[in-house]
Structure 1
Amino acid sequence: METILEIKQVSKTYHNANNTLTVLDQIDLSITKGETLAITGPSGSGKTTLLGLCAGLDSASSGTVALSGITLNELNEDERAAVRNQYVGFIFQNFQLLPTLTALENVMVPLELRGAKNSKTIALGLLEKVGLGSRSHHYPIQLSGGEQQRVSLARAFSNQPAILFADEPTGNLDAETSERIIKLLFDLNKDAGTTLVIVTHDNELAARTNRIVKIKGGSIIADERLIHA
């Protein structure tokens, strides 16, 4: 199996005048193409920090992160942004939609950054897939939380990412809406064949993935592969 993400001896520390805080301590993790993986653990365990390092949103203090064969540590911020735009999709707990853009325009943003010629057609097709074809010209403020997260799902898949990172994707949603979003996420992911990495407190969501990595105190304490019927 082809490796899409390789993390070797990665640590992340923060320094202030009086002390050093180690958030991640010598993490080793390898993710193969097409895997679905959940990162779980208590608050403050380093889950979101690890996700940020994997996605090239931040740099490790030591160790290496290689995404699709590209070592992120060797790149500057602009170069990392270019890698993210080419390979990565994101879904956040608080949706992260641009408030001044319509649902359609939000989904078109990654496509236009990549210079896609038919960005409007692709974006409309994705909004149809998530059941929001009729709401394409609404602004985020005119949409419910669940609808906003569906727009962010459409946006995440718009540039056909090799790997998709989801940080607590149902954290701000009620149980019924969460179930719809989870189903959509896994359906879209299956159709696209994307590698999916989810940070979550939700054990039911984690159990839908192929693999659960548990973090505590900045270290991986368990790495379990699941077999689904």
Structure 2
Amino acid sequence: MSAENILEVQNVSKTYKSAGTALRVLSNIDFSIPRGSTVAITGPSGSGKTTLLGLCAGLDRASAGSVILNKVKLDQLNENELAAIRNNHVGFIFQNFQLMPTLTALENVMVPMELRREKNVTQRAMELLAKVGLSDRAQHYPIQLSGGEQQRVSLARAFSNKPDILFADEPTGNLDGETSEKIQQLLFELNREAGTTLIIVTHDLELAAHTSRIIKLKAGTIQSDLYV
């Protein structure tokens, strides 16, 4: 594996078995992503986008083939080792925010840093909330925040553990047009500043166009892989 590639997906397939039948969601997916890239994975519903993201991030295991993340072969790791890889190297942004409802905005941002036993976590979390324009909402709970504000907290949390690679699954999917545009600008701004590799799963072709590469899936296979 080349030292410059942070992610390699090698001939990966994923099959789900249910009620005695097999459903193949991904077939022979093969690509590599250099460190610092911005990549969009697009395609119609059911094309395997979110499944592929889950395999790349170590949230699920491939049925065949290998995923190598930051020089580590994920299919050789146990669940605890996978969790450690995610905590140390990976950031996530989800369509439905995935904030912990019993924690304030500040506490949600602090969680990844506390898991890593970092120091000065309150100060760094406040700095990140300031970057996303939420200094005055730090003590609010998710239910007290709008969708756009919740996604800003999610952005701050995603960058809090200084990830090598950030996976965003439909990050603007639950937001209106104006809010979506603001979140999009923040995402790319924070990403440039941190120098993180960014992989976005999205239906939004306008969002995809802001990345440097678009991988399009169709029926579980790569239909095209274009540099923008």
The bucket for the TM-score relative to the shorter chain is over 0.9
1:25 aligns with 2:27: yes
For 1:17 and 1:99, the matched residues in 2 are separated by 35
For 2:73 and 2:191, the matched residues in 1 are separated by 25
2:86 pairs with one of 77, 84, 99: 84
For 1:166 and 1:19, the matched residues in 2 are separated by 31
1:206-217, aligned counterparts within 5 Å? 206-217=208-219
2:15 pairs with one of 13, 33, 55: 13
For 2:106 and 2:171, the matched residues in 1 are separated by 20
Summarize deviations over 1:55-91 as a string: whole Å, max 9, x none.
0000000100000000000001111000000000000
Structure 1 runs not aligned, ≥5 long: none
Counterpart of 1:180 in structure 2 is 182
Counterpart of 1:155 in structure 2 is 157
1:147 counterpart letter in structure 2: E
For 1:14 and 1:151, the matched residues in 2 are separated by 34
For 1:52 and 1:93, the matched residues in 2 are separated by 14
For 2:65 and 2:39, the matched residues in 1 are separated by 21
2:34 counterpart letter in structure 1: T
Counterpart of 2:115 in structure 1 is 113
Structure 2 runs not aligned, ≥5 long: none
For 1:152 and 1:177, the matched residues in 2 are separated by 14
Q: Structure 1 vs Structure 2: percent identity of aligned residues?
A: 69
1:93 aligns with 2:95: yes
RMSD: 0.7
1:134-173, aligned counterparts within 5 Å? 134-173=136-175
For 2:172 and 2:205, the matched residues in 1 are separated by 12
For 1:73 and 1:118, the matched residues in 2 are separated by 35
Structure 1 ranges of 4+ moved more than 3 A: none
For 1:178 and 1:120, the matched residues in 2 are separated by 28
Q: Tell me the TM-score normalised to structure 2 length.
A: 0.98
Counterpart of 1:203 in structure 2 is 205
Counterpart of 1:133 in structure 2 is 135
Summarize deviations over 1:147-185 as a string: whole Å, max 9, x none.
000000000000000000000000000000000000000
For 1:151 and 1:91, the matched residues in 2 are separated by 10
Summarize deviations over 1:19-41 as a string: whole Å, max 9, x none.
21000001001000000000000
For 1:223 and 1:48, the matched residues in 2 are separated by 17
For 1:182 and 1:172, the matched residues in 2 are separated by 13
For residue 213 of structure 1, report the CA deviation from its aligned partner.
0.1
